[in-house]
Chains A and B, each alone.
Chain A
Amino acid sequence: MRPKFDLLGESLIERILEEAFLLIDDPGVRVAPYVVDLLRGAGVTVKDGVAHIPEPLARRLLDLVPRGFCVYDRSGKPAVRYAGDDVHFDPGSSCLNILDAETQQPRPAMSADLVRMVQVAEMLPQFAAQSTAMVCNDVPQEIGDWYRLLLVLWYSEKPVVSGAFSPASLHTLVELLTIEAGGRDALREQPRAVLDVCPSPPLNWSEFASQNLVDLARAGIPAEIVSMPLAGATAPVTLAGSVVQHAAECISGITIHQLAQPGAPIVWGGAPAIFDMRTGKTPMGAIETVMLDVACAQVGKHLGLPTHAYLVAGDGRVIDAQVEMESGMSAVLGALAGINMISGAGMLDFLACHSIEKLVIDAEAIASAQRLIQGIEPRTPSLAVGMFAQTGLQGDFLKLKDTRALFRKEQHFPSTVIDRGFASMDATPDILTRARQRVDELLSTYQRHPLSPECERELIAFAQSEGEEAGLEGLPGILIPAYAPEPGLI
C-alpha cells in the first residue's frame, strides 16, 4: 500500500471548487489585452480588463487538459512523468544569492555557482529534473533568464523546470530548447522543459503571464502555473480561502491556455504561503505553508491534473537545525501527498538564498521521503514464518539468503552526509563539513556529456549573438569547444 497524506475531505474539495468557479465569474479575473479577443471569442464577457468566466466553459476546458505527460531527458527518455501519484523533485529556482561554500555567508550568485549546482544536481538521483536555480549576477540583467537555461542545457541531461522573466526572453528560451531538441516538432513531441507561469495574486493574469500562457500552449511546451496566494495579505487569511483563490487562479489560467491550444499540457502548480503577521515575510518552512501546498495539490489531483508545489525550502539564514527540520518535514509531506513535481530544495532564507551544501543535505531528506512512499511490501511468501522456519529461535537472520537478497530493497542507505556512525565519519561530526565533502566528491566525479558538435555550435552561436546584443562579453561558465566560432576559455 502506498502511504498517502490527504488534508481535505471530498466535500471540502467540492466546496473549494464550487467557490473557485464562482470567483472566476464574479468578481472575475483581471486579464491582459493580449487574451481579450481569445476569451471573447469563447463567449467570455470581458469588461474593463476583467474577464467573467462562466463555469460551464471552464469545466469544458478543464476536461481538455492532458491528465498526464512526460518530460524527456536529453537522450529522449521520458524521465519525468507528470501524472497520477508520481513524485519528482527539482532544486529551487531563480535565486539571486548563494551561501558561499567557505564563509557560509550570502553573496551574489555567479555563472560558476550555477554550473556547480547543476553539476551536483546532475549527480544526485533524488533530483529527476534540474531547475534554472540561480540568476547569474555576472551576466546582464535583461538576459538573466535565458542564460540560466543555456548553462543547464550545456551541463545537464536531465529535464528542466525553468521560466522566462519577460515576453521577449520567452522566445529566446524557446529557441534554445528548439536548438537543443533539433527542431520545433522534436521539442513538441519530446519536451525537455516545463516553463513556469505566474499569475499575480489575487486573480490577475498580467500582460506577461497571459502572453506566456498563450505562447507556451501554441509552442507545445508544457506550462506550469505557479499561483502564489499569500494567506492574509494577497489572499484570504484562512487556509481554505487561499486554496479557493489558488484554484480560481489555476482554473482561469487553464481556461486561457486551453483556448489558445486545446489539449496543450499544463500543470496545476503553485508556491502558496502564509503571510507572517509579525514580519510581513512569507515563511516557506511554516507548517501552514506546507498545508497550503498539499491542499492546493489535492484539489488539482481531484480534477485529475498534473501537479506541482514549492517545498523543501527552509527560512533560516544558515544551514542549521531549523532549516533542515523545515525542509525535511515538507519533503516528506509533499511526497506523501503525491505531488508530481516538488521544487525548492537547496533554498533558504525565504527563498532569497541558495546553497549547494543544503542541496546535498536536502537530497538525503528527499531520499528518505522517496523510501517512505514505497511503503511496506510483503516481499516473501510468508511475512516472517518462512524465515523463522529457517533459523528457528537461534535468530541468525543475518545469515539468511532472504536477508542478503532483500536488505537493499528494505533499507535506504544514505550518503555520508547522514551520520550513521560510519567509522570513516568519526573525524567529521558536523553536517556542514560532511555536506561540503559530499559536494566536492560529486563535483570530482561529474563528467559533462557533450551535445552533438552541430548542436553545440548552433547553441553557442545563438547565445553569443543574443548575448552581444545585451552587452555580454563571452559566455561566462562555458568552456567553448575548439570548433566554435570563437575558441578559447570565455
Chain B
Amino acid sequence: MRTDVAKEWKVTDLGEPQKIIGIEITRSPECITISLSKYIKSILHKEGHEHCNPVSTPLDPNVQLVPNPDGEIRNCSNSFARLLGELQYVANTMQPDISYAVNRLASYTANPSLQHTTALKCMLRYLSGTRSLGIIYKADNKYPNFIGYTDASYANADKRKSILGYVFIASSGAITWSSKKQVTKALSLTEAEYIAMSEAA
C-alpha cells in the first residue's frame, strides 16, 4: 500500500502520525488521544490571554444574552467574527463543551455588543484551562461500539426558539456532535425533543 503510493509520487514517510490538520495525535497501546492544544495556545497568544485565570464554565449561565440594545450600530471591526471563527474551529474539531457557547454567540456576530465580547473573552479563559484536554478513544472492549444522545431545551433562545444538541460516541470518545438553534418553533418540550432526535438522525 505504501509502496503503491510511493511508486506514483515522491513521498515523505512520517511514520506514526503526530499531527494532521492541527490535530495532535498521541498513541499508546490502550488508547488514542487527540488534542488541539497548540492551536488553542496560538489563539490565546494572539489575544494576549496566555496567563489569564481559567474559569469553570464557557458561558456564564446567569447572564442572559440579548441582541445589542443599542440597535443597529454597525460595528466595522470584524475582530469579534474572526475570533469566533477560530473558536468555531475548536468547537467543531475538538471541544464539544464549547459548542453550545460558540453557537449562541455566533447568532450575534452581525451586531455584537459589549456583553457578547465579554462572553467571548470568558470563553478564552475557559479554554486556557481546558486546552491540554483532548478526546480519548479507548481500545477496551467493555465500551459499546457506537452510542448517541440527543437533548433539547425549550424556548430559551431568541424568539422562543429551542436549542438542540446531540453527540455520538464510539470507543468511549465523541465522534460527532452539534448544538444548534432549532429552525422551527416547537410548541412543547416533547416536540423540541423530537426535532432534536430527527436532526441527530
Task: Check if A and B associate.
Answer: no
Residues of B within 8 A of A (CB): none
